[in-house]
Amino acid sequence: MMKRTILLLVPVAILSGCSGTRRAVHTPPSIDRTTYIEQYKDLAIREMRRSGVPASITMAQALLESDNGNSRLAREANNHFGIKCHRDWQGRRIYHDDDARNECFRKYNRVYESYRDHSDFLRTGSRYRFLFDLPAGDYKAWAKGLKQAGYATHRHYDELLIRIIEENNLHMLDEGISVALGDEPSRQVGQELSMQEVPEDEQYEFTINLRSREIRKNNRIDYIIAEEGDTYPDLAREFDLMPWEIYRYNETSRTAEPEPGQIVYLQPKRNRAEAGYETHVVQEGETMYDISQRYGIKLSRLYRMNGLEEGVEPEPGTELYLRGKTGIFGGLF
């Protein structure tokens, strides 16, 4: 009996050792608080403008719930607010031990989806409705209200939020002015620093820009440049368009989302490029859609004027007409 017990324990010990080795190899570097704030402050401000949730509260909750972005839920599920599935959740899921074992939490494709869902979760939840009657800049009332509504089970949840806001001057985010952050030094993996080692007078400055985004023109068409976290439905609301309009203007599917730096048209594209742009030489990795967006030409027209079947991608080095072929008398056809 003893021999059988030993034989069973050996593989378990080996597997445990292997598992520990894998975790050590793949653990990503920790994110410090200052880095997290710098990286995601604009999302908090954007959500404040969209939903009315104070940016200071959003950022403090994100820092607390995600452990500055280092928690398993944040890293593996982009869930920065510890929002559980609840009955109406139809999206992706991740299971994690919290108040009980193996609880269901929401899983997102991008961090911004987590920020947006957090705002909507508060905005549409009946038990949080009273928060939106509070003064927008009263972060203390919001913190106490979140505790009162039962957002978290920690009995000092409001005090934790208030401390994070005040230690990092996050209330300044609500006003859209420069913020001085008490800098938390970066840590190497596995290295712990006590608060006594942090210089009290060390400061970090960043500026919040709340100006409306710039509307530009290309081929006499209004467009904007997509930013991190943008979605087509959000942009449609921001610029008073119907969702179908922005999808149609950009000739994209309803499952697509704009990438940061991408052109997003707010008006229909034209049948040919602006005067002066007669041809374009296809570059490596460039698609017909890329070219149609670059010059503000309808994709179907670009295919037609070059005698190509829709869906065909020309080889790099191919010269494409942007305004039609030039005839012998200089006309376009």
Cα(25)–Cα(37) distance, rounded to whole angstroms?
Answer: 27
pLDDT tops 80 at residue 183: no
Flag whether the pTM goes above 0.75: no
Instruction: Summarize pLDDT for 249-281 with one digit per residue, the tens.
Output: 999 998 899 998 899 999 899 999 998 889 999
Using pLDDT thresholds of 50, 70 and 90, give the confidence band for residue 248: very high
Q: Average of pLDDT values for 11-36?
A: 58
Cα(174)–Cα(169) distance, rounded to whole angstroms?
Answer: 10
pLDDT at 67: 92
* φ, ψ of residue 53 in degrees (nearest 5): -75, 125
Phi-psi region of 77 (alpha: psi -120 to 50; beta: other; left: phi over 0): alpha
Q: Which residue in 102, 57, 96, 55 sits closest to 77, CA to CA? A: 96
Using pLDDT thresholds of 50, 70 and 90, give the confidence band for residue 177: low
What is the CATH T-level fold of the domain 31-185+200-206, as seen in this structure? Lysozyme (1.10.530)
Cα(232)–Cα(225) distance, rounded to whole angstroms?
Answer: 12
CATH code of the region 216-321:
3.10.350.10
Q: Average of pLDDT values for 227-253?
A: 87
Q: Average of pLDDT values for 195-222?
A: 51
Question: Could you identify the residue written with the tokens 């008073």?
Answer: 240
Cα(157)–Cα(136) distance, rounded to whole angstroms?
Answer: 19
The domain segmentation of the chain, as residue ranges, is 31-185+200-206, 216-321
Q: Average of pLDDT values for 47-70?
A: 92
pLDDT at 80: 95
* φ, ψ of residue 301 in degrees (nearest 5): -70, -40
Cα(278)–Cα(274) distance, rounded to whole angstroms?
Answer: 8
Using pLDDT thresholds of 50, 70 and 90, give the confidence band for residue 162: very high
Using pLDDT thresholds of 50, 70 and 90, give the confidence band for residue 309: very high
pLDDT tops 50 at residue 244: yes
pLDDT at 314: 94
Q: Average of pLDDT values for 281-305?
A: 94
Using pLDDT thresholds of 50, 70 and 90, give the confidence band for residue 49: confident
Cα(256)–Cα(232) distance, rounded to whole angstroms?
Answer: 8
Cα(325)–Cα(304) distance, rounded to whole angstroms?
Answer: 11
Q: Which positions ≥6 away from 152 have C-beta within 8 Å?
A: 65, 82, 146
Q: Where are the alpha helices (DSSP H) in the chain?
A: 2-26, 33-51, 55-66, 72-77, 111-124, 139-149, 157-167, 232-238, 243-249, 288-295, 299-305
Query: Which stretch of 5-19, 76-90, 129-143 has the lowest confidence by average pLDDT?
Result: 5-19
pLDDT at 136: 72
Cα(216)–Cα(204) distance, rounded to whole angstroms?
Answer: 33
pLDDT at 4: 37
Query: Which stretch of 126-140, 160-174, 304-318 has the lowest confidence by average pLDDT?
Result: 126-140
| Contact (Cβ atoms closer than 8 angstroms) between residue 81 and residue 114 | yes
Query: Which stretch of 15-19, 152-156, 232-236, 254-258 has the lowest confidence by average pLDDT?
Result: 15-19
pLDDT at 99: 60
Single-letter amino acid code for the residue at 328:
I
> How many residues are present in the chain?
333
